Chain A
Amino acid sequence: MTHQILAAAASTVGGGERWTFYILAPVAVLCAIGMVWARNAVHSALFLVVTMLCLGVFYLVQAGPFIGFVQIIVYTGAIMMLFLFVLMLVGRDASDSLIETLRGQRTAAIVLGLGFAGLLSAGLAEALGHVRPVDLAAANQAGNVQGIARLLFTNYVFAFEVTSALLITAAVGAMLLAHVEKRKEDKVSQPAMMRARFAPGNYPAPKPGPGVFPTSDSVATPARMPEGTPAARSISKILPQRELTAREAAPKGTEG
Chain B
Amino acid sequence: MTPTWYVVLAAGLFTIGAVGVLIRRNAIVLFMCVELMLNAANLALVTFSRINGTLDGQVMAFFVMVVAAAEVVIGLAIIMSIFRTRRSASVDDANLLKY
- The answer to whether A and B interact is yes
Which chain A residues have a beta carbon within 8 Å of chain B's beta carbons? 10, 13, 18, 21, 25, 28-29, 32-33, 35-36, 41, 44-45, 48, 51-52, 55, 58-59, 62-64, 66-67, 70-71, 74-75, 78-79, 82-83, 86-87, 89-91, 94-97, 101, 105-106, 109-110, 112-114, 116-117, 120-121, 124-125, 128-129, 131, 133-136, 138-140, 144, 147-148, 151-152, 155-156, 159, 163, 166-167, 169-171, 173-174, 177-178, 180
A-B pairs under 8 A by CB, number: 233
Asked if B94 lies at the interface with its beta carbon under 8 angstroms from chain A, I say no
Given contacts A13-B1, A105-B23, contact A70 B70 (CB under 8 A): no
B45 to chain A, nearest CB (A): 9
Whether B23 lies near A59 (C-beta < 8 A) is: no
Which chain B residues have a beta carbon within 8 Å of chain A's beta carbons? 1-9, 11-20, 22-26, 28-29, 31-33, 35-36, 39, 42-43, 46-47, 49-56, 58-59, 61-63, 65-74, 76-81, 83-84, 88-90, 92
Whether B77 lies near A178 (C-beta < 8 A) is: yes
Complex CA distance for A139 and B31, rounded to whole angstroms: 35
Whether A44 lies near B18 (C-beta < 8 A) is: no
User: Which residues of B sit under 8 angstroms from A121, Cβ to Cβ?
Assistant: 8, 11-12
Residue of B nearest to A180 (CB): B84
B92 to chain A, nearest CB (A): 6
User: Which residues of A sit under 8 angstroms from B39, Cβ to Cβ?
Assistant: 51-52, 55, 75
Complex CA distance for A170 and B23, rounded to whole angstroms: 28
User: Which residues of A sit under 8 angstroms from B80, Cβ to Cβ?
Assistant: 86, 89-90, 177-178
Complex CA distance for A94 and B82, rounded to whole angstroms: 14
A34 to chain B, nearest CB (A): 10
Q: Which of B12, B22, B46, B69 contacts A109 (CB 8 A)?
A: B22
A132 to chain B, nearest CB (A): 9
User: Which residues of B sit under 8 angstroms from A70, Cβ to Cβ?
Assistant: 62, 65
4 tightest CB-CB pairs across the interface, nearest first? A134-B53, A170-B70, A113-B19, A177-B77
Residue of B nearest to A94 (CB): B89
User: Which residues of A sit under 8 angstroms from B56, Cβ to Cβ?
Assistant: 151, 155
Complex CA distance for A33 and B89, rounded to whole angstroms: 22
Complex CA distance for A63 and B72, rounded to whole angstroms: 28
Whether B28 lies near A41 (C-beta < 8 A) is: yes
Whether B20 lies near A83 (C-beta < 8 A) is: no
Whether B4 lies near A36 (C-beta < 8 A) is: no
A67 to chain B, nearest CB (A): 5
Complex CA distance for A173 and B73, rounded to whole angstroms: 9
User: Which residues of A sit under 8 angstroms from B14, Cβ to Cβ?
Assistant: 120
Residue of B nearest to A167 (CB): B70
Whether B62 lies near A148 (C-beta < 8 A) is: yes
